[in-house]
Amino acid sequence: MSRFLVRLEKLLRALVRRRVDSANPRRIVVVHNLLLGDTILLAPLFKALAQLAPNAKRYVLCRPAFLPLFENHPYGVTAIPFSRRDANSQRRFLRSGPYDLAIVPDDNRYAWLARGAGARWIAGFANDKPSWKNWMLDRALKYPATPAAWADMLPSLIDASTVAPFVKGEWPAPNERGFDAPERPYVVLHVGASTALKQWPAARWQHVAAELRNANFHIVWSGADSERHVLDQIAPPQEEAVLFGGLDIGQLWHLLAGAELLVCPDTGIAHLARIVGTPTVAIFGPGSAVVHGAGLFFGAAPFSAVTVADFPCRDQAVLFRRDVPWVRRCGRSLGIGPNQCPEPLCMQAVSEADVMHEVNPLLVGTRGAGIRA
């Protein structure tokens, strides 16, 4: 079926569906197309839904690559494979309803998809752009007026006032998938990032790796297959483990579970490490350490955000296309054109000493001894 026909079906279904607020929802779905990190940050919403409707069937749309995260049903949630570019997956979801409640956590275009699938009541954040995205919302909640982590905002979509903080183990591990595990003790240096403006200078990775080697850790270099050029600049010793694009998300979970430490930019693997429980130092450049930092729900996780606060060009007060006055982030791309950034100065402003200063206390927690920075 073509994507055009699926869009037409979605529109027609959305326009004829009846809106009904259900006090006792029996079928609930979270509708989105988020990347890895933000998918994991839905955890407090899942936990709140389990408290709100423990006997309801609860579903979440999920990119196929992330399905192993949900195979053991964290918080009682069942994943529905979904890809925005796959017309067949959209059609299957449209015909999977009805649902008593749908929650749209980011892009309100998916409220139309939810209505088309028979959602009787839809909650999401207000003021998405353009305005037509918001037309299918029955409950439109504004972002808070004071700083908060995005994950902590999500339970408010269902009026959940309190959600107990995350406890290691409450998101069950994916099933074991064999891979060549590194020699222990090891640390993972994940040098890839979702954008070139989040990449840390090669010389600084080399310095951190040398410090960790001197402390008798084995180094595991990690990233996506498309990011091998970053590793080429670092040029690690040939004997060190390199896992670029060789692991699926389930194997990556178990790699992190065996690691003493993860160091990485602000990217999806940092959030994965939170639910695994791996001590993590995440380097924030363009991104906001307030919005995507530990917050309240993940406050007990062994996680440290390294950033330069109030960096001058981290000046865009936008979160998921909404204008939010207290947000300070940068969504520019690398380049010299309009609304581009020619160089990742915010990442370059984070020094090796800054990172090692945060590495030390995390390693004290795991091994009882730190590293001299």
| pLDDT tens-digit map of 157-196 | 999 878 999 999 999 999 988 888 899 999 999 999 888 9
The pTM is what?
0.92
Task: Judge whether 3-158 and 186-367 match in fold.
Answer: yes
Instruction: Note the pLDDT tens digit of each residue in 126-141.
Output: 999 999 999 999 999 9
User: Is 232's pLDDT higher than 50?
Assistant: yes
- Residue 303's nearest CA partner among 336, 266, 248 is 266
Q: What per-residue confidence (pLDDT) applies to 345? A: 96
- Please report the pLDDT score of residue 50 as a whole number: 96
pLDDT, mean of residues 92-113: 96
More confident residue, 368 or 215: 215
* Centroid of chain to Cα 225: 19
Mean pLDDT of 255-263: 97
pLDDT above 70 (res 103)? yes
Q: Does domain 186-367 have CATH number 3.40.50.12780?
A: no
Distance CA 97, CA 103 (A): 14
- Binned at pLDDT 50, 70 and 90, residue 22 comes out as low
pLDDT at 14: 52
Residue 12 is predicted with a pLDDT of 43
pLDDT at position 5, please?
Answer: 42
222-229 average pLDDT score: 90
Show me where the domains of the chain are located.
3-158, 186-367
> Does pLDDT of 8 surpass 60?
no
How does residue 18 score in pLDDT terms, banded at 50, 70 and 90? low
pLDDT band, very low/low/confident/very high, at 21 (cuts 50, 70, 90) = low
Task: Say if residue 263's pLDDT is above 90.
Answer: yes
Mean pLDDT for the stretch of residues 13-20: 52
What does the mean pLDDT of the chain come to? 91
Which CATH architecture describes the domain 3-158?
3-Layer(aba) Sandwich (3.40)
pLDDT at residue number 368 = 47
pLDDT recorded at residue 250:
96
